[in-house]
Amino acid sequence: MEHVLITGGSRGIGAATVRAFARAGYAVSFLYLSSREAAEALAAETGARALCCDAADTEAVLAAVRAIPPVDVLVNNAGISHVGLISQITPEQWDRLFAVNVKSIYNTVRAVLPAMLAKQAGAIVNLSSMWGQAGASCEAAYSATKGAVIALTQALARELGPSGIRVNAVSPGMIDTEMNAHLSAEDKAALAADTPLGRVGAPEEVAQAILYLARAEFVTGQNLPVNGGYL
């Protein structure tokens, strides 16, 4: 049975991904930071292993990976957002965005890579965003982190491909999650109207794309948009 590790797994897209991989027959471990009650409920529901860990903390990630079986599939879903003018973002907020959205990928890849290299096999799926492709006004820092995720994905695909390790990204569009709870009903309706499919997406739809990339044995270095045709 293949083992998948999912970061940011207690809510939203992460929780949907935990459920999708569990239903597909994977052994599942996931990291969470603050949503302990939700994490424990999800673990009980799916049989997954929940570990409290800040994915931006290098040593904490190494310790978490040592506590679980070798990882065959890594899903880097942990992420935070920030809405505001660039002139209003503090240095601390900027650094935290890059730590969670980008450095966490370095942390987890570094931790799981020895086992993947030993097997000469593995799959890594990183979560970017359509704003990492196009950029969003008042989300400059978030857009910058997600653009970095796409570049990192492509670079790692080239670096790790000769070792049989595939690296891809998924770029969700407007998805109905807590991260987008700050948007008004009018804003969500406007985004849905601008989407060719005429609606916002569901976390489960992103999870299916992640599961596909975990299994697609001749796909690497790609960024799969899941945005209803918005971009």
Predicted local distance difference test score (pLDDT) of residue 182: 65
Q: Which DSSP state fits 99?
A: I
Cα separation of 231 and 211, whole Å?
Answer: 22
Evaluate whether residue 231 is within a structural domain: no
Q: Which domain holds residue 30?
A: 3-226
pLDDT at 185: 75
Rounded to whole angstroms, how far apart are CA atoms 198 and 230? 9
Is 134 a residue whose pLDDT tops 80? yes
- What is the rounded distance in angstroms from the CA atom of residue 190 to the CA atom of residue 208? 25
Mean pLDDT of 121-149: 95
Q: What percent of the chain has pLDDT over 90?
A: 86
* H or E element in which residue 127 lies: strand 122-127
Residue 189 domain flag = yes
Q: Which of 26, 32, 142, 230 is catalytic?
A: 142
Residue 231 has pLDDT above 90, yes or no: no
CATH code at position 221: 3.40.50.720
- Statement: residue 228 has pLDDT above 80: yes
In angstroms, rounded to a whole number, what is the distance separating the alpha carbons of residues 54 and 8?
9
State the Cα–Cα distance between residues 131 and 147, nearest whole angstrom.
8
- The gap from C-alpha 164 to its chain's centroid, in whole angstroms, comes to 21
Contact 179, 11 (CB under 8 A): no
Looking at the domain assignment, is residue 149 inside a domain? yes
Please count the structural domains in the chain: 1
Please give the pLDDT value at position 190. Answer: 81
Query: Amino acid identity of 194?
Result: D
Q: What is the mean pLDDT of residues 106-119?
A: 98
Going by C-beta distance under 8 Å and a sequence separation of 6 or more, which residues neighbour residue 121?
Answer: 72, 164, 165
The CA-based angle 172-157-101, given to 5 degrees, is: 45
CB–CB of 156/167 below 8 Å? yes
Task: Give mean pLDDT, residues 208-221.
Answer: 98
Write the pLDDT tens digit of every residue in 46-87: 999 999 999 999 999 999 999 999 999 999 999 999 899 999
pLDDT at residue 200 in the model? 87
What is residue 135's predicted lDDT score, i.e. its pLDDT?
Answer: 85
Asked if 32 is an active-site residue, the reply is no
pLDDT tens-digit series, residues 153-204:
999 999 999 999 999 999 999 898 776 666 677 777 888 888 999 998 999 9
Instruction: Identify which of 149, 129, 101, 152 has the alpha carbon closest to the alpha carbon of residue 206.
Output: 129
- DSSP assigned state of 217: T
Q: What's the rounded Cα separation, in Å, for the pair 86 and 135?
A: 13
